[in-house]
Amino acid sequence: MDCIFCKIIDGSIPSYKIFENKDVLCFLDIKPDSISHTLVIPKKHIKDVYEIDNETLSNVYDAAKIVISKIDKIFKPDGYRLVQNNGIVQEVKHYHLHIIPIYNDNDNDFTVEEVYKKLSK
């Protein structure tokens, strides 16, 4: 399979893992829209919202809540956008949820590596 997210899951492509369990992997977006922008993906390859089963969807959102809690403690964003794209706007054809923190104060300019160091403690 030529899915970049499947390659991240199997370890052939490195990532900045924030949370992982047997069903889900959460890692920092390497081209973030904001500080601590994280992707949540199921470990089994599921193309999009039309294919995802309710149990897997629940696992994705349970993991998202864990990641949001970690981000809250360290970066204290003012809000979040949770985004999931399908069809022509879905860049990677593996179901994924974007956790995009929103900050009123844009002075917090961190690299992905710096964010990872703070969240992986």
Q: Which residues are catalytic?
A: 96
Report the candidate in 38, 45, 57, 46 with the shortest Cα–Cα distance to residue 98. 38
| Cα–Cα dist 73/35, whole Å | 13
Residue of 20, 8, 102 lying closest to 63 (CA atoms): 20
- 10 Å CB burial of residue 75 (0-12, 13-18, 19+) is middle
Q: Which helix (H) or strand (E) holds 57?
A: helix 54-75
CB 108 within 8 A of CB 75: yes
* Placement of tokens 């860049």 in the chain: 91
